Amino acid sequence: MNILVVAATIQEIEISIPYLAHKKIPYLITGVGMVAATYALAKALQTAKVDLIIQVGIGGILHQSAPLGSIYRIVEDHIFELGAEDHEAFIPIEKLGFGQSLFREQFVLSDWPIKHIPQAIGITVNKVHGQEKSISRLRTLYSGEVVESMEGVSAFFVASQEKINVLQFRAISNYIEPRNRAAWQIGLAVKNLNEFLQELLQSLS
């Protein structure tokens, strides 16, 4: 199986680069944001034969039931608020008839190698939530576990267009709350993410 590991920044997978080199597993650093991630991945697939994209990174979680540093498998991801405002209402792009905002993982295993990873849905944003009014609105929109990133949906979208298997995993570095950098646990999230990534790659080999 030809696997491509994808991350937005080198810092998110730097710990695993020696492991990836030893296993001869290529990786791609896309840059931050939907536009950069979509372009970089689409360009890479022009010359690389890939059977499975594994996108990894850190993210924030809406409901504070998960310890920081937890790993989530993102099974579907939304381009957050792609559509139009209609006075106080919002019309999603699907209802407008101009496109799609929801994309899903594409990978089927009869026996998952790592069973203890909880699932969540993702929202991919251009502006990370950091003030109470917008966060309260998120809570009215989503009742389950929601993980926020700035690139997640890009891998799902490109994979759907190219008909390639894709998985996404996020380590929780912070809660989605009014911006509070003192409470972030980026180091822990990155450490746990890389330990999980190497475990996953080992199980798939």
Quote the CA–CA distance of 135 and 146 in Å, as a whole number.
Answer: 12
What percent of the chain stands above pLDDT 90?
86
Q: Is the pLDDT confidence value at 170 over 80?
A: yes
**Cα–Cα separations (whole angstroms), residue 112 to 6, 13, 116, 170, 181:** 21, 23, 10, 18, 35
How high is the pLDDT of residue 110?
63
Host domain of residue 72: 3-204
What's the CATH number where 64 sits? 3.40.50.1580
- pLDDT category, 106, cuts 50, 70, 90? very high
- pLDDT category, 168, cuts 50, 70, 90? very high
Q: Name which of 10-24, 107-121, 147-161 the model is least confident about.
A: 107-121
48-80 tens-digit pLDDT: 999 999 999 999 999 888 999 999 999 999 999
Q: Is the pTM of this model over 0.85?
A: yes
What percent of the chain stands above pLDDT 70?
99
Own/partner long-range contacts of 197-201 (Cβ < 8 Å, ≥24 apart): 197/5, 197/13, 197/16, 197/54, 197/56, 197/169, 198/16, 198/19, 199/114, 200/54, 200/113, 200/114, 200/169, 201/3, 201/5, 201/19, 201/20, 201/23, 201/25, 201/54
How high is the pLDDT of residue 143?
83
Count how many domains the chain has.
1
The pLDDT of 11-16, averaged and rounded, is 98
How high is the pLDDT of residue 116?
82
End-to-end CA distance of the chain: 8
